[in-house]
Structure 1
């Protein structure tokens, strides 16, 4: 479904990603783990068209998206939930969700998907007319995921969904991620909580200083002594 092939990414003269390749198959949850500053967010931004790679290519469902705009990439079926949630604080919950569907023309479908988001996140329904900036961190994360789902993505890119959340909410968010996946959405997940990420993923990649150093079945990666020592506190 998604093929990233040998991309090099630079910020000015500084190289952030070095010949990075990864694949995500339809229906999978794939997680990318690594320390802060390893290049995880840069990779997601490059896939979603916010940053251009200098070399290499990115294909989604056999379409070359390397040079496509973010808008074209969303139209093709990739949605990105950025690190730090990035909801629009001065807009209501409902307005944020409607914005997620801004490229869609199917009014009835939008209505139905809005209903599904509210069923999945009852707290958002309770606060639909509240300004997004007044929500708690967990509610903002739910809103960011709900907004992304409103574009009907085939592939959902999640950047640090559990960041800054209380442990009970982390468990809830991961349960929701599994549910979204079980209903047909493929997921590429970046997460500092490596233990939680590996527990729900099918496959995993480990990135260190801009290079993929390890990949494989999530359970095998979780059992790897070096991964345990570096990321799982073992």
Structure 2
């Protein structure tokens, strides 16, 4: 579904991604793990069209993405939930969800997807008329994911969904990621909680200082001594 081939991305003179290649097959959850500043978020921003690679190609469903505008990438079903949630805090929960569907014109489909969001996140239903700025961090994360679902993603890019959340809420968010995937949405997940990410992913890539240094089945990487020492607290 997605094929990233040897991309180099710079911020000014600083090279953030160095020859990164990866693949995501339809129906998979693929996770990117790595330390802070390794280039994980840069990769997602590049896939979303917010940054341009200097070299290399990005193919999505057979089409080249590397020179496409961000809005046209969204239209094609590549939807990102950014790090730090970024909900519109002065708008209600429901207005945020409606905004997620702004490129769509299928009213019945939009209504059905909103019902689905409320089924996945009952708490958002309870707070649908509430201003988003008054929600807890976990509820804002639910809203950011719900808003992305309203855009009808084929490929969902999740950037650090567990960041700053209480352990119980992290567990809930990861269960919902599995549910979203089970209904047919392919997911590329960037996550610092490597253990949690590897426990739900099919495959994983490890990024260090802008390079992919390791890749494989998530279950195998979870058992690797090297990965455990570096990212799983040695347990």
TM-score range, shorter chain: over 0.9
Say whether residues 1:141 and 2:133 are aligned partners.
no
Q: Equivalent residue for 1:43? A: 43
Q: Equivalent residue for 2:89? A: 89
Deviations 1:98-123, CA, capped at 9 Å, x for gaps: 00000001111111111111111111
Q: Equivalent residue for 1:101? A: 101
Instruction: Let me know the Cα RMSD of the aligned residues.
Output: 0.5
SS in 1 for 2:110: helix
- Pairs within 5 Å for 1:1-234: 1-234=1-234
| TM-score for both structures, normalised by structure 1 | 0.99
> What is the distance in 1 between the residues matched to 2:233 and 2:119?
37
Q: Kindly report structure 1 stretches of 4+ aligned residues shifted beyond 4 Å.
A: none
| Unpaired stretches in structure 1, ≥5 consecutive residues | none
Report the alpha carbon displacement of residue 219 of structure 1 after superposing the two structures with TM: 1.1
SS in 2 for 1:129: coil
> What is the distance in 2 between the residues matched to 1:189 and 1:13?
27
Report the alpha carbon displacement of residue 41 of structure 1 after superposing the two structures with TM: 0.2
Deviations 1:33-54, CA, capped at 9 Å, x for gaps: 0000000000000001011111
| TM-score for both structures, normalised by structure 2 | 0.99
Report the alpha carbon displacement of residue 223 of structure 1 after superposing the two structures with TM: 1.3
Number of residues of Structure 1 aligned to a counterpart in Structure 2: 234
| Unpaired stretches in structure 2, ≥5 consecutive residues | none
SS in 2 for 1:152: coil
